[in-house]
Amino acid sequence: MSRIVRIGTRGSALALAQARWTQQQLASRGQPAELVIITTSGDRFVDRPLAAIGGKGLFVKEIEEALSDGRIDCAVHSMKDVPGELAPGLVIAAVPPREDARDVALTRTGVAFATLPNGSRVGTSSLRRTALVRASHAGLTIAPLRGNVDTRLRKLDAGEIDAIVLAAAGLNRLHVTRDHVEPLDPTQFIPAIGQGALAIETRDDDVPPAIAALDDRQTRTAVEAERAFLIRVGGSCHTPLAAHAVVDGQYLRMRALIASPDGARVLRGQRHGGVNDAAAIGAALAGELLDQGGDEILRALAAS
């Protein structure tokens, strides 16, 4: 009988849904697995903006420590939470097929997001979403909002906020259905780097075959381009960034942006090429946006 693979995961409903999906996929390949819930710094400090306490990497740090220490055998992350550089000795062993990468908007009254009246409160703590909302509709008010999907929906229903912007993938994985879920155009409201994708992380010298078998080449290639953009930009948790790549056969097209947090400057670009050049495409697009003024935005944020 195969050894039992210990899957490290956060304890949120979405994280558990992702980990259980992985557990089921492994079981279907004859690999038994159990879940190990790990509380991360990002889970503990839910009353403070992520940018103020270290960014999305705080959802990963303690889990990577458990993986390095041998307390777990693999970890399941939302790819968009994974920093550009992994901890030493660790590797992303599998990137399963991507869910819907788009953002979606939900409004309390069911009106279209673009028609929200001035002064409406949009709940989000994402710097990227904040910048894009401000750039597209300067009359809206941003209401800082963290917490799991259920918490955000409850605050919307209670009237504490007038609209929220969420990842479509999170709603889909939790099987949450709502009226008036409005997908936002990913060519304009460019998704977060890695949004909709999972990262299954292992030690680089211990990759169970059943985990490696979950890898989807198309998704990995797209994410490789997006993460190459992230690494080349070197953006901090204080930088609104976005990158989204789509693979069609042997062809990859990618859009990305660097923005100021207030949405006053949104630098956009796109590139395309062969899938074998995915990382080069992502890095080149990053260089292009840095040259167009992205470097100036980053310097200003670093100095603030």
pLDDT digits (tens, 9 = 90+) for 130-150: 999 999 998 999 999 878 888
Instruction: For 205-216, give the DSSP string.
Output: TB--HHHHTT--
User: Do 210 and 255 fall within a single domain?
Assistant: no
User: Do 240 and 284 fall within a single domain?
Assistant: yes
189 within a domain of the structure (yes/no): no
190 within a domain of the structure (yes/no): no
Structure-model confidence comparison of residues 20 and 85, the more confident one: 20
Of 69, 73, 81, 206, which residue is the catalytic one?
A: 81
User: Do 231 and 257 fall within a single domain?
Assistant: yes
129 within a domain of the structure (yes/no): yes
User: Do 6 and 61 fall within a single domain?
Assistant: yes
pLDDT at 54 over 50: no
User: Do 91 and 199 fall within a single domain?
Assistant: yes
Q: Which of 183, 205, 227 is the last residue of a domain?
A: 183
224 within a domain of the structure (yes/no): yes
Encode pLDDT of 263-273 as tens digits. 999 999 999 99
CA 283 from chain center: how many Å?
A: 19
**d(C-alpha 170, C-alpha 98), whole Å:** 12
User: Do 4 and 118 fall within a single domain?
Assistant: no
Q: What is the mean pLDDT of residues 164-177?
A: 95
User: Do 1 and 92 fall within a single domain?
Assistant: yes
9 within a domain of the structure (yes/no): yes
Q: Which ranges in the chain belong to alpha helices (H)?
A: 13-28, 41-44, 50-53, 61-69, 127-136, 149-157, 168-173, 209-212, 217-233, 278-289, 295-303
**Structural domain boundaries, residue 146:** 103-183
Active site residue 43: no
User: Do 47 and 110 fall within a single domain?
Assistant: no
130 within a domain of the structure (yes/no): yes
The rounded mean pLDDT for the chain is 92
User: Do 207 and 220 fall within a single domain?
Assistant: no
Among the listed residues 211, 260, 216, the one whose alpha carbon sits nearest the alpha carbon of residue 96: 216
Structure-model confidence comparison of residues 49 and 73, the more confident one: 73
User: Do 169 and 223 fall within a single domain?
Assistant: no
User: Do 211 and 77 fall within a single domain?
Assistant: yes
CA 174 from chain center: how many Å?
A: 16
The domain total for the chain is 3
pLDDT at 53 over 50: no
User: Do 164 and 34 fall within a single domain?
Assistant: no
Any idea what the CATH number is for the domain that residue 163 is in?
Answer: 3.40.190.10
